[in-house]
Amino acid sequence: MGNDGGSIPKRRELVKEAAKAPTASQIKEARAESQEHAWNHCPLSSKPLSAPVVSDCLGTLYNKDSILEFLLAEDGNVEKVEGEKVLGGRVKGLKDVVEVKFEVDGEEDKGAGRKEKWVCPVTKERMGPQAKAVYVVPCGHAFAGSVCNEAYAENDVIPILPTAPADIARLNIRIKTLKEKNLTHALKKAPGSKKRKKNAEVTNGEALSGDAKAGTLEEDKKVETSSEKKKRNSDNGIKNASTAYLTKKVLEEQEERNKRRKLDQNDNVKSLFSKGNQKADLANSKDYMTRGFSIGGK
């Protein structure tokens, strides 16, 4: 029939062949194509990779100028939103990326792809999707094996565009550990890590205990001089500026009077001491046997 309403077609007549799951070879081929594109194009701008090239914590390669344009774009911009989807929150600033230093060996004609040919500086092996490559943090030297002149930790060897689940899991654990230490992917201080809350509690024995603080206050009180104590007591509770000033003047005058009173000795005490060059009275120099009368001459 001509499908004119006289008959109803069945599903097996419309669907000639059921959808099949992709085979292992098809998956491998699609993954190879994806790796080839990632090794030659920036995922932010879809432009060919060209120096300077940077990498995030998961080993993805970007053109540095594309990262800069993303960071400088205004919030809400279409490019900013699309970039956030690509980066997945891994790049908040230049401290979150490391500039990868590839050794260039001539030029490679790849049409619309990358023009530079990257090789390992040690083995001279071509670096790309066909061979596993890594770079070291923070120097950024890229090579095909674990060889580098700069000192580095084993955990800071970053696979470039990794595909193995073990490598991806290790990188995720690494960046989580760095965040706990207030460090970025480039092993630099994370933005805002130097700021401290005003009333934050200091841990790891950096703060004095309550007893130690009390002891320190007691020592400070002992060092306090008497004049400072008088001043503190006089100013205690005085909130009015004029009243405090008058109180201070009265205390100063009282202290001055006390000094003069101590210097001014009474007459009885003064009489016990001679004054300067004053000559002694001869009458007072006689002894008690001859005082009051004189012996007549022969």
- Mean pLDDT across 67-75: 93
Would you say residue 256 has pLDDT above 60? yes
pTM > 0.85: yes or no: no
| pLDDT for the residue numbered 55 | 96
CB atoms within 10 A of CB 125: 15
Q: Please compute Rg for the chain using Cα positions.
A: 47
Would you say residue 80 has pLDDT above 50? yes
Whole-number percent of the chain with pLDDT over 90: 36
- The least confident of 21-35, 147-161, 232-246, 262-276 is 232-246
> CA 230, CA 76: separation in Å to the nearest integer?
65
> CA 127, CA 131: separation in Å to the nearest integer?
6
| pLDDT for the residue numbered 53 | 96
Cα–Cα distances in angstroms (integers) from residue 236 to residues 12, 34, 48, 217, 232, in the given order: 99, 78, 75, 18, 6
40, 53 Cβ separation under 8 angstroms: no
- The least confident of 100-109, 160-169, 221-230 is 221-230
User: What residue ranges in the chain does DSSP mark as E strands?
Assistant: 53-55, 61-63, 98-100, 103-107, 116-119, 134-136, 142-143, 157-159
Q: Apex CA 207: angle with CA 205 and CA 213, to 5°? A: 125
- Mean pLDDT across 182-195: 84
